[in-house]
Amino acid sequence: MFEKDLKFLEDAFKQYYFDHFNLINVPDRASEREFGYMKFNTGMIRHISLKTDKDLHLMLMSNIPSDVFCSNAYYTFPSMPMSEKDWKEADIIFDIDAKDLKLPCRKDHTCNKCTSCGEIFVLQDGCPKCKSNKIEHISLPCDNCMAGLKKELSKLDKVLTDDLNIPANDIVTSFSGNEGFHLYVKHSQYNDLGSKERGELIDYIKFQKVIPETFGFKKNNPSKSSFPEFDESGWKGRVAKELFGSKSKKSKLVSKIISDGYVAYREKLDEIGKNSIGIKIDPNVTVDIHRIFRLEGSLNSKSGLCKLVCKDVEKFRPYTEACLIDDKPTEIIANCPIKFQLKNKKFGPYNGEKTSVPKYAAVYMMCKGIANSA
């Protein structure tokens, strides 16, 4: 990153933290958690212990971090090296990201940046300028992406509350500040699960590694009566609705399933797990019991947007509500071949031109790597 761009972003982030201390607080049981941060152009600094909001705010203003993190795990000695922390338990966290939904709209709001020469372009695999294949994909998500994410969140919330008996009050959903959402399950009966057990929980939620017998197909003696009914709870009821559509169609479709055979049914269950009823969470996030996560209220250096708790997920508008940097007019050199929208204002496309935009848009484009300070 150019020195001028670095100073601009550091100043913008520092001003944000000065103006929005009310949004940035240590979580409960802060003295048992590990904190960490990154600065622009540097690596991760972690194994930090913070006990109060005053400690946190002092760290923010002293270091001007690009990203701030906090563990979902609780330790006896959070500031010690990992092998000496003495892990106690960890809240369950799920991550749902727009890139994992593989929506058709993604190609319309993604451009490529050559990491060799910096050329920005669309619709090509290789750099048109230097012919390099070292390409970074830059996505500026749209409202359709957010709608897809909210649909997955709704499915996940239902599985957690209906199947796993987690109280709704123990579930907190936050916009990540870039392209996804984090769903936290706090203080639950699952907090003491290790990585292996969390992996099994993921298999259940993603509806994978499914056994046909569980869903009615007895390998040696299949019977129509053993297939799931519409009014059954959990995955059996969801499978019935997905496979049969309506009760009137069930008998005919079950006959076809039996005729096609056990292996075909297993493949069909795998298919609906991947493409429809399974929930598209990132498994690596949930199984990592030592991970540190972006702190609520902090900025995301990939966008300049805030990680924000969603009080009403369906009504939440991330690219308006989480866009909290001020609107001071700012001159930039923008090279953004696709359109995007922030705070109900449309921007782009730009072709390497000098332009004036609100500071929040300048920060967004510079964090995305598609603009520089003028």
Phi-psi region of 77 (alpha: psi -120 to 50; beta: other; left: phi over 0): beta
State the Cα torsion 262-265-266-269 to the nearest 10°. Answer: -160
DSSP conformation class of 41: T
The number of residues making up the chain comes to: 374
Instruction: Give the closest residue to 57 by CA, choosing from 47, 71, 68.
Output: 68
Residue found by looking up tokens 């997905």 in the block: 242
Q: Which of 62, 64, 71 is nearest to 298 (CA)?
A: 64
Q: Which residues contact 327 (CB under 8 A, 6 or more apart)?
A: 343, 358, 359, 360
Q: Are 77 and 84 in contact (CB under 8 A)?
A: yes
Active site residue 91: no
Other residues' Cβ atoms within 10 Å of the Cβ of residue 196? 9
Is residue 100 annotated as a catalytic residue, yes or no?
Answer: no
Residues 290, 294, 296, CA angle at the centre, nearest 5°? 125
Report the C-alpha gap between 157 and 233 in whole angstroms. 15
Compute the CA torsion angle 16, 301, 305, 344 (nearest 10 deg). Answer: 120
Q: In the numeric block, which tokens belong to residue 39?
A: 């600065």
Q: Which of 5, 91, 97, 157 is catalytic?
A: 97
Q: Which of 53, 282, 288, 327 is catalytic?
A: 282
CB 114 within 8 A of CB 132: yes
Catalytic residue chosen out of the listed positions 5, 67, 91, 95: 95
Q: Which residues are catalytic?
A: 95, 97, 282
